[in-house]
Amino acid sequence: MDDEGLCYELNFITMERLMVEVNSAFEKGDNYFSDTGLVILDSITKNSIMKAIGRLIERKYFTTQKGCKAESSNKWTVVKL
């Protein structure tokens, strides 16, 4: 969540999991794979996710993304930017 209360959806995935997801999509007949805010990590740990978010902030990733209003959900983890 940024200072204006906007959220940005990020989906963290490892290369191994990405390959499974892509192959599954192709096997189902899709000719593409896409996912909102896809971020590929070497491992899915809190430390790895937080480090990636920090680097995305440094590289101004979120200035090119459209934020959405924050919704309360136990399915989401909110990190204050």
Return the pLDDT at 2: 77
15 near 77, Cβ under 8 Å? Answer: no
Q: Is residue 78 part of a domain?
A: no
pLDDT by residue (tens digit) across 20-79?
999 999 999 999 999 989 999 999 999 999 999 999 999 999 888 888 876 667 776 777
SS3 43: coil
Q: Is residue 25 part of a domain?
A: yes
Q: Enter the tokens of residue 32.
A: 């593409």
Q: Is residue 1 part of a domain?
A: no
Query: In this structure, is the dihedral angle defined by the CA atoms of residues 22, 25, 31 and 32, taken in order, positive or negative?
Result: negative
Could you tell me which residues are beta bridge partners of residue 11?
Answer: 38
Return the pLDDT at 81: 63
Total domains in the fold of the chain: 1
Q: Is residue 26 part of a domain?
A: yes
- Does residue 9 have a pLDDT over 80? yes
36 near 9, Cβ under 8 Å? Answer: yes
Q: Is residue 53 part of a domain?
A: yes
Return the pLDDT at 7: 84
Question: 35: domain range?
Answer: 6-67
Q: Enter the tokens of residue 62.
A: 């979120």
Q: Is residue 12 part of a domain?
A: yes
